[in-house]
């Protein structure tokens, strides 16, 4: 989906990731996140596939594509379930924030009066099941999106192991992730 173009080569991308990692380690809390969904854990991803189909697929789509017209800005904005694949915005949030959204139906930093149409799953899914669902979703993303999302996690948790040996590029709209990471690491 996101093909490598122009003079930027795998070595350059690996160097960019290395610089991001050094800066992140210097600026961000290097501790493991409280809630981390490991998309490289095949067993966890497999469990997440089952839970996603049962609890999430009816709204977010069997193929993570979201509800029809989910991006439309009209009087129903926010009521349509967004895509969880590469076309959505899920990857623009840390694992901790995604965990909180699934468990409680809202992001932790959302204003108290903010309306969220996402149901809370605290009574339906335990913490391990929520992390399995998130691991399944993340495992479906292209490597560039996984790298961008991992930059939002403490210690870059979730950075794909093969990031330096696989050709990839960051998605065109990843500046939001970088900005969020930069603000969070101050």
Q: How far apart are CA 135 and CA 127, in angstroms?
A: 12
Token pair of 184 as six digits: 């969070």
Q: What is the value of pTM for the model shown?
A: 0.75
Token pair of 170 as six digits: 């960051």
Residue 117 has pLDDT above 70, yes or no: yes
Domain 10-184 has CATH 1.20.120: no
Q: How far apart are CA 127 and CA 171, in angstroms?
A: 30
Inter-residue contact 41 to 135 (CB < 8 Å): yes
pLDDT at 26: 39
What's 122's DSSP letter? T
What are the extents of the domains in the chain?
A: 10-184
Question: Which residues fall within 8 angstroms of residue 128, CB to CB, at 6 or more apart?
Answer: none
Residue 135 has pLDDT above 60, yes or no: yes
Inter-residue contact 144 to 2 (CB < 8 Å): yes
Q: Taking the mean position of all CA atoms in its chain, how far away is CA 88?
A: 10
Q: Taking the mean position of all CA atoms in its chain, how far away is CA 62?
A: 18
Residue 98 has pLDDT above 50, yes or no: yes
């Amino acid at each position: 989906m996101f093909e490598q173009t122009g003079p930027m080569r795998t070595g350059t991308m690996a160097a960019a990731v290395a610089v991001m990692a050094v800066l992140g380690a210097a600026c961000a809390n290097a501790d493991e996140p409280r809630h981390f969904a490991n998309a490289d854990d095949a067993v966890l991803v497999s469990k997440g596939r089952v839970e996603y189909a049962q609890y999430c697929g009816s709204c977010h789509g069997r193929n993570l594509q979201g509800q029809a017209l989910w991006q439309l800005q009209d009087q129903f904005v926010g009521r349509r379930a967004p895509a969880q694949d590469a076309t959505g915005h899920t990857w623009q949030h840390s694992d901790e924030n995604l965990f909180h959204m699934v468990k409680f139906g809202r992001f932790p930093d959302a204003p108290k009066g903010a309306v969220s149409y996402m149901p809370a799953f605290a009574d339906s899914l335990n913490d391990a099941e929520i992390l399995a669902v998130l691991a399944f979703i993340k495992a479906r993303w292209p490597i560039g999106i996984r790298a961008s999302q991992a930059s939002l996690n403490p210690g870059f948790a979730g950075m794909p192991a093969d990031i330096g040996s696989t050709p990839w590029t960051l998605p065109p709209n990843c500046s939001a992730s970088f900005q969020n990471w930069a603000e969070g690491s101050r």
